[in-house]
Amino acid sequence: MGVSERIYLSQPHMTGKESEYIDQAFQTNQLTLFGQHIEEFENRMSEYLDGRHVVAVNSGTSALHLALRYAGVGPGDYVLCSSFTFVASCSPVTFLGGRLIFVDSDESWNMSPAALEKALEWADGHSITIKAAVVVDIYGQPAKYDDILPLLKERGITVIEDAAESLGAYYQTKKCGTIGDYSALSFTSNKLITTGGGGGMVVSADEEAIRKMRFWAAHAKEVRPYHEHHDYGYEYRLPNLLAGIGCTQVDRIEAYSERRRMIFRKYAQELEGYPVDMMPEVQGSRPNHWLSTMTLEAGYNSMQFMDYMNTHNIETRMAWKPMHLQELYKKELYFTDGDKDVSADLFRRGICLPSASVMSDEQLDYVIDKIKIFFERI
Ligand SMILES: *Cc1c(COP(=O)(O)O)cnc(C)c1O
């Protein structure tokens, strides 16, 4: 790709093998919500995820909805969630009528174990039982599971890992997407790998759980020669055509993460000495750096930065606006560690940079050059 085209934050990275799968789906007339490419995609993903059980669905949001329902979340039930995330981490709690308790971030940008303790002390003090926690690996950085999991486990809280952004990342020796009781993945077009549009997956070591979620994802049909229903479900299946595209991407997970990590390292090296700080890496973990992100030092304005990059046809974006600051969720509980609101500060100063694995070295150099010029001119 030349530098005259717009450079995006993240884009699908096709392999060239897609048309084979698409043609095959046409030839066998499997333009359906079941079929051999769904099976192949699930088998390949299960193999990549160390033999975990999986069910392919039509979005990461659907995956989180199924997992939260399986965790038993219902009307009035409390669920913990990082505030610094995309709304889909917690909107499924709202679908189920649950209540949210938002938790601030620490220097990892993920759920702060200290703020989590504050939330748990509050719940213990009010004799409130918490059903589940959605722990997010934001921008592909694994959360601090060694600190977080024991706090949740000792209270019997189900852990749902939102690994929508972290496929290909590792927490110590564990792959992201295998850490929660249930983990959710997303294959929407801007994620690490894509099914060529919407797509998602629930991952778990619990085979029975996956069986139940598969049942719910296809209208909860009892096995009968007619349509018999004892429970309600959804239409959350992944089309076979899209699963075929997914099949071509699974063996690229490691390479695409490596490319995104390399892009992050390049930004970090080149921007050393400029008034920015790259997202810090948690010790012992290997983020995939789905999006390379940085914070601007005090005195710099993110709108001004983004406008400047835009005039050079480069897409950048502010960091996630935390959920506790959203009109939708401002009445929900929010816990920080002390007086500082870390996630609100990340929103004010955080910038996401072009990070697509398909981006060329030439494009990356062009972006870096423009960032440098922005700070040199100001
Ligand atoms: C993308 C994303 C989701 C939702 O995935 P969809 O496939 O778009 O429904 C959930 N959580 C986070 C953190 C995400 O980035």
331: Cβ–Cβ under 8 A, 6 or more apart, which residues? none
Dist. CA 231 → ligand 1 center (Å): 27
The count of other CB atoms within 10 Å of the CB of residue 170 is 18
DSSP annotation of 157: P
Atom of ligand 1 nearest to the CA of 88: 10
Contact 214, 55 (CB under 8 A): yes
Confidence of residue 2 (pLDDT cuts 50, 70, 90): very low
Q: Which pLDDT does position 3 carry in this prediction?
A: 55
Q: What is the pLDDT of residues 134-186, one digit of tens each?
A: 999 999 999 999 999 999 999 999 999 999 999 999 999 999 999 999 999 99
pTM of the model: 0.97
Ligand 1 mean position, distance from CA 325 (Å)? 19
Give the Å distance between the CA of 88 and the centre of ligand 1. 6
Residue 165, token pair as written in the block: 């952004």
Closest-CA residue, ligand 1 atom 6, reads 60
Instruction: Kindly tell me if the per-residue pLDDT of 85 is higher than 60.
Output: yes
- What's the pLDDT band for 4 if we cut at 50, 70, 90? confident
Does the Cβ of 239 fall within 6 Å of ligand 1? no
Q: Is 56 near ligand 1, meaning CB less than 6 Å away?
A: no
Say how many Å lie between the CA of residue 319 and the centre of ligand 1. 15
Residue 257, ligand 1, Cβ within 6 A = no
- The atom of ligand 1 lying closest to the CA of 89 is 11
Nearest to 243 by CA among 64, 27, 56: 56
Tally of CB atoms within 10 A around 145: 24
Distance CA 20, CA 244 (A): 9
Q: What is the pLDDT of residue 261?
A: 98
81, 141, 162: residue to mutate for ligand 1 pocket, most atoms within 8 A of CB: 162
Q: Which of 89, 111, 138, 161 to mutate to test the pocket of ligand 1 (most atoms within 8 A of CB)?
A: 89
How many Å lie between the centroid of ligand 1 and the Cα of residue 348? 22
pLDDT in tens, 257-299: 999 999 999 999 999 999 999 999 998 999 999 999 999 999 9
Q: Where are the alpha helices (DSSP H) in the chain?
A: 18-27, 36-48, 60-70, 91-95, 113-125, 145-153, 207-217, 240-247, 253-270, 302-311, 342-349, 361-377
Distance between CA atoms of residues 270 and 368, nearest Å: 7
What is the residue with the minimal CA distance to atom 4 of ligand 1? 60
pLDDT at 97 over 70: yes
Q: How far apart are CA 24 and CA 27, in angstroms?
A: 5
Render the burial of 113-125: b for 16+ CB within 10 Å, e for the rest.
bebbbbbbeebee
- The Cα-based distances of 20 to 26, 29, 189 in angstroms read 10, 14, 20
Residue 368 Cβ inside 6 Å of ligand 1? The answer reads no
Per-residue pLDDT reduced to its tens digit, 38-65: 999 999 999 999 999 999 999 999 999 9
